[in-house]
Amino acid sequence: MIRIPLYLFLLFLLSGCTRIPQPASYAYSEQQKMQAAHHWDILASDVANQINNQLIRSDYLDKAVFVKATCGSDAVPCDQGETSQFNEGFRDLLITRLVHFGVPTSIEKKLSDIEVNYKVQVIYHSASRSTLPPGALTAITAVISVLRQAPGEIQAIAIAAGLDLVNSAAPRIGHYEVIITTSMIADEKYLFRTSDIYYINDPDFWHYQNTQQGKIIQMVSTDR
């Protein structure tokens, strides 16, 4: 009986598949995960620093700013009771940091004030997601290459062990992310704008969700 090496058999099976463009992932990168109010404060400090620097560059040192949470667009403030826990907490933290930087910050909006608006979008991914650390696939490929001359049974065990190792090394990513966008508007033009994206723990999504359910962006998988 002719014994075909396992890796050659797999290549034979793959060669019979329809040749269509293969999905390609992005290069390995990192994305921060918000898990504590301290992380909100870190973001508030970073945003306040950027706002302060932009005011200096624009020669608006004597201009006061007014921080406003928005729901949906920069022109629509959140109604009473509509904001999320993050929305309210981030506003307080951002004002505190702006004051620490010496930025004049108004309690109530005046016509001469520069508006600092921010909004939060919650994104839900229905598909289960995971990621591989750099070098994981290279390591398993190297093991298979070393065992290329081994019997098929040994190769099968090595591949199975390698897949188990890769799966155990692949952290599971939750279903939720948030986009936090902060804008500074002067004379009906954007003077400054930044958007930050974070992973969040699934049970904590309600910290970021406004009371209107429609604010969640659904990212539904079409894979079968």
pLDDT tens string 29-62: 788 899 999 999 999 999 999 999 999 999 998 8
Are 60 and 75 in a shared domain?
A: yes
Do 96 and 155 have their domain in common? no
Q: 217 has which bridge partners?
A: 123
Q: Are residues 82 and 158 in the same domain?
A: no
Chain centroid to Cα 110, Å, comes to 35
Question: Rounded to two decimals, what is the model's pTM?
Answer: 0.69
pLDDT the model gives residue 97: 97
Tell me the pairing of strands 176-186 and 189-200: antiparallel
Q: Is residue 9 part of a domain?
A: no
**What pLDDT was estimated at residue 224?**
47
Q: Is residue 5 domain-resident?
A: no
Give CA torsion, residues 197, 194, 26, 41, to 10 deg.
-30
189 lies in the same domain as 210: yes
For the chain, strand residue ranges (E) read: 33-34, 65-69, 114-125, 129-130, 172-173, 176-186, 189-200, 216-219
Specify the number of domains making up the chain.
2
Instruction: Answer yes or no: do 190 and 204 share one domain.
Output: yes
Q: How far is CA 69 from the centre of its chain?
A: 20
Confidence (pLDDT) at 101: 95
Q: Looking at the structure, tell me whether residues 40 and 96 fall in a common domain.
A: yes
Whether 163 is covered by a domain: the verdict is yes
| C-alpha radius of gyration, the chain, whole number | 25
The answer to whether position 55 is within a domain reads: yes
pLDDT value of residue 215: 46
Together in a domain, 152 and 201: no
Residues 82 and 188 in one domain: yes
Could you say which residues of the chain have pLDDT below 50?
Answer: 1-2, 169, 213-215, 224
Residues 151 and 184 in one domain: no
Asked if residue 138 and residue 78 are part of one domain, the reply reads no
Q: Which residues pair with 67 in a beta bridge?
A: 116
| Residue from 2, 112, 128, 28 nearest 66 by CA | 112
Q: Are residues 42 and 90 in the same domain?
A: yes
The domain containing residue 156 runs over which residues? 132-170
Coil, strand, or helix at residue 77?
A: strand
3-state SS track over 101-147: CCCCECCCCCCCCEEEEEEEEEEEECCCEECCCCCHHHHHHHHHHHC
